[in-house]
Amino acid sequence: MWTDASSRPQVVVTGSSAGIGRAIAEALLAAGWRVTGLDIADPSIEHAGFHHLSVNLGHGEDIARVGPQLLAAEALVHAAGVLRVGPLGALDHAGGELMWRLHVDAATRLADAVVPAMAARGHGRVVFIGSRVAQGMPGRGQYAATKAALLALARSWAAEVAAQGVTVNVVSPAATQTAMLNDPARAGSAPRLPPIGRLIQPGEIAALVAYLLSPQAAAITGQDIAICGGSSLPK
């Protein structure tokens, strides 16, 4: 598609060192994008088109530090995330604050840094990785609230920049097979297996994200698209 590396479009992918973020970064590299990965963890991808920036996405000042390096990006995919659980009466307030900073505040700061430049150029793509849990789930209220906030941001911003050729969408997976499933912080809150009888695979999410970043998806904006394995079907 592109004749040389310099002509390839740039996409910013958060959480690129593991899980869904890494799968997305790898899929986009294979599709010919130049990927700038933002993660506090060391890079796990070796590719000529991949550039890693060490960033603590929970700290606004750290995002501001790298912001000037992202202005040429034609797409932003915010996939970084954590899960903290707890019922009423035993909520993890520190964990709730962390999830808000990482899921919502980071999305806000990154979009504020790069989307105006996309709109000025007349083209851009933004995808937030949400969650089916945004619909509500016992013991995960704080997590659900942050993912629901991403939907509100996406719909609001999609309306702002649709006429400038920029799309903003959310991809909301059900339980996905990543290391997050084994995180001790979610002990006592087992994932719910989708009706298809297996967990969602990161590569399936990456394939949808790649499509949403493509020219063929120019008419899709302000949407919450579920990859749920049947979890959203009537029961």
Pick the catalytic residue: 33, 143, 144, 209? 143
Q: Given this model, what pLDDT does residue 15 score? A: 97
User: How far is the C-alpha of 212 from the C-alpha of 209, rounded, in Å?
Assistant: 5
pLDDT along the chain (235 residues), means of 10: 64 97 98 98 97 97 97 98 95 96 98 98 98 92 97 98 98 86 60 86 97 98 95 78
Quote the tokens at residue 31: 């599709």
Which three-class secondary structure state does DSSP give residue 121?
helix
CB distance 185 to 85 below 8 Å: yes
Q: Given this model, what pLDDT does residue 11 score? A: 98
What DSSP assignment string belongs to 123-171?
A: -EEEEEE--GGGG--TT-HHHHHHHHHHHHHHHHHHHHHGGGTEEEEEE
Q: Given this model, what pLDDT does residue 184 score? A: 62
Within 13 Å and on the Cβ side, how many CA atoms surround 186?
17
User: How far is the C-alpha of 83 from the C-alpha of 102, rounded, in Å?
Assistant: 11
211 is catalytic: no
| All structural domains of the chain with their residue ranges | 10-227
Q: Given this model, what pLDDT does residue 1 score? A: 39
CB distance 174 to 231 below 8 Å: yes
What DSSP element (H or E) covers 98? Answer: helix 93-99
Q: Which CATH architecture has domain 10-227?
A: 3-Layer(aba) Sandwich (3.40)
Q: Which amino acid belongs to residue 107?
A: A
Q: Given this model, what pLDDT does residue 193 score? A: 85
What DSSP assignment string belongs to 164-205?
A: GTEEEEEEEESSB-SGGGG-GGGTT-PPPPPTTSSPBPHHHH
User: How far is the C-alpha of 34 from the C-alpha of 49, rounded, in Å?
Assistant: 5
CB distance 62 to 56 below 8 Å: yes
Quote the tokens at residue 176: 């996905």
Q: Given this model, what pLDDT does residue 4 score? A: 47
User: How far is the C-alpha of 81 from the C-alpha of 118, rounded, in Å?
Assistant: 24
Q: Given this model, what pLDDT does residue 224 score? A: 98
Q: Given this model, what pLDDT does residue 178 score? A: 80
Q: Given this model, what pLDDT does residue 176 score? A: 87
